[in-house]
Amino acid sequence: MSPETIVHADPRAAANVPPPLLAVDGLSLEFRTRSGVVRALEDVSLSLQKGELLGVVGESGSGKSVFAYAMLGISDAAAKITRGTAVFDGMDLLGATERELREIRGREVSMIFQSPRTSLNPIRKVGHQIEDVLRRHAAVRGQDLRERAIDCLKRVRIPDPARRYEAYPFELSGGMCQRILIALALACQPSLLIADEPTTGLDVTTQAAIMDLIVELAHERQMATLLITHDLAMAAQYCDRIAVMHAGHVVEVGPAQVVLHQPQHPYTARLIASTPHTADSIAAMQPIPGSLPDLRAAKLPPCRYSARCEYRTERCDTEALPVVPIDATHSVRCWRAAA
């Protein structure tokens, strides 16, 4: 059974759905900077089932990466979680000690980053870097190590893995480095993979191959995947569900095809219309007016999109926003949908 049928086949069967692997509820996070408190995330609620691919889409400054890092418990000293919970496989991520977090990072939850080359140790053979992870998290020892490492390379479809085992990162192309990084991330068979813009900076052909690989591996191992990206078309192509973020809010969550074809939030609709892919001519592209609100402002309106929104009403700037369910799997944070 493919993962989407487990989760979304029948909304009425929701009661039978197993508890989510990752459940984030009402998460708010702020950064204390010298120019004021930046409210980077507010009331973010998302859940992820085993084997599901969730795309978190947003422009720069939307908070999508901050969210990803918060899930790993990696955030800088200025960050403070002010509200909410995040439960991963029964474990409270936000209350966990650094020691407990280190235990699950790499083994249960893995991450791949945007710049594959800088994420690898430049002076260590890639094979040895994979062995390091195996030794630490999977307690593999001795002779098996090399074999397991080559096996990891094989699984990310690296041609001639025994030779690449001996390679240093600078000897490999960007696409190959990203494959190594994926191999590292998957070495211990994590149940959750967080991929932060894994293909930014790679060529289109390489990007497609890397995304194919991530999706294939995710399905093969029933691994839940959180794909952080700015590319809505890519998220829609590869993910089961999409969450659209704007200025620290999740404004819309739903099945990928539904969000893409029947967007309910004005921002989602604009984002789709401003993507070159869907436009048939330059003139048909609809840019999003205005810019992100200043998240340091003492008084942010309840809807952070209101200043850019064509459907703005007085209510948007005064009353707290509801999360409106469209159906069991699709919800939107907007007064217009509530009406």
Q: Which is nearer to another protein, 174 or 325 (CB)?
A: 174
Single-letter code of the amino acid located at 312: R
CB 176 to another protein: min, Å? 7
**Of 234, 245, 250, 258, which lies in the binding site for another protein, with binding defined by CB under 8 A?**
234
Interface with another protein by CB under 8 A: which range of 10-18, 37-45, 127-135, 224-232? 224-232
CB 167 to another protein: min, Å? 12
Single-letter code of the amino acid located at 327: D
Does residue 171 touch another protein according to CB under 8 A?
no
DSSP code at position 134: I
Q: Which is nearer to another protein, 60 or 97 (CB)?
A: 60
Contact 84, 67 (CB under 8 A): no
Does residue 281 touch another protein according to CB under 8 A?
yes
Does residue 82 touch another protein according to CB under 8 A?
no
- Name the nearest CA neighbour of 240 among 225, 252, 251, 228: 225
Contact 63, 69 (CB under 8 A): no
Cα(243)–Cα(251) distance, rounded to whole angstroms? Answer: 8
**Of 276, 299, 314, 320, which lies in the binding site for another protein, with binding defined by CB under 8 A?**
276
Cα(225)–Cα(219) distance, rounded to whole angstroms? Answer: 10
Spell 275-303 as b/e; 16+ CB within 10 A means b. Answer: eeeeeeeeeeeeebeeebbebeeeebbbb
CB 236 to another protein: min, Å? 3
CA dihedral 123, 124, 129, 135 (to 10 degrees): -120
Does residue 141 touch another protein according to CB under 8 A?
no
Q: Which is nearer to another protein, 135 or 157 (CB)?
A: 157
CB 3 to another protein: min, Å? 12
Q: Which is nearer to another protein, 88 or 267 (CB)?
A: 267
Does residue 310 touch another protein according to CB under 8 A?
no
Q: Which is nearer to another protein, 291 or 318 (CB)?
A: 291
Does residue 206 touch another protein according to CB under 8 A?
yes
Cα(289)–Cα(280) distance, rounded to whole angstroms? Answer: 20
Does residue 271 touch another protein according to CB under 8 A?
yes
Does residue 260 touch another protein according to CB under 8 A?
yes
Q: Which two tokens stand for residue 301?
A: 């309106």
Cα(324)–Cα(302) distance, rounded to whole angstroms? Answer: 15
- Strand partners of residue 278: none
Which residues 6+ apart lie within 8 Å of 167 measured at CB?
A: 125, 126, 127
Interface with another protein by CB under 8 A: which range of 24-32, 38-46, 178-186, 202-210? 202-210
Q: Which residues bind another protein (CB under 8 A)?
A: 34-35, 59-60, 159, 173-174, 176, 203-209, 212, 230-234, 236-238, 256-257, 260, 270-271, 274-277, 279, 281-283, 285-288, 291
